[in-house]
Amino acid sequence: MGFRQVQVQTDSLSAIQLIGSAGERHPHLALISEVRRLQALDWRVEIIHVYREGNVVADYLASLGHGRPPGDHFVDA
């Protein structure tokens, strides 16, 4: 989509920590490695922690996804 700057908000501090420091024997290493690969592309990616209570975007997306079939869904804001 041509984005050059992306901010990822998550309420999972452990996910942020794993992306930064997971060892080579972590059970989710393939997923963590893919996140790191995407971060290394030619764009600016910022991953920040937000408190679950304040994450209205996640609540909105969760409500959109409720009842949809599994798979990829794209939301045009």
The tens place of each residue's pLDDT in the chain, 77 residues long, gives 788 999 988 888 998 998 988 778 888 889 999 999 999 999 999 999 988 777 787 778 778 878 788 888 787 76
The structure tokens listed for 69 are 């079939």
Distance CA 8, CA 31 (A): 16
Residue 49: per-residue pLDDT = 92
Distance CA 8, CA 5 (A): 10
Distance CA 11, CA 50 (A): 5
Residue 73: per-residue pLDDT = 77
Residue 68: per-residue pLDDT = 84
Per the listing, tokens 């030619």 go with 42
Strand 5-10 with 44-49, pairing: parallel
Residue 40: per-residue pLDDT = 92
Residue 36 contacts by C-beta under 8 Å, 6 or more apart in sequence?
A: 19
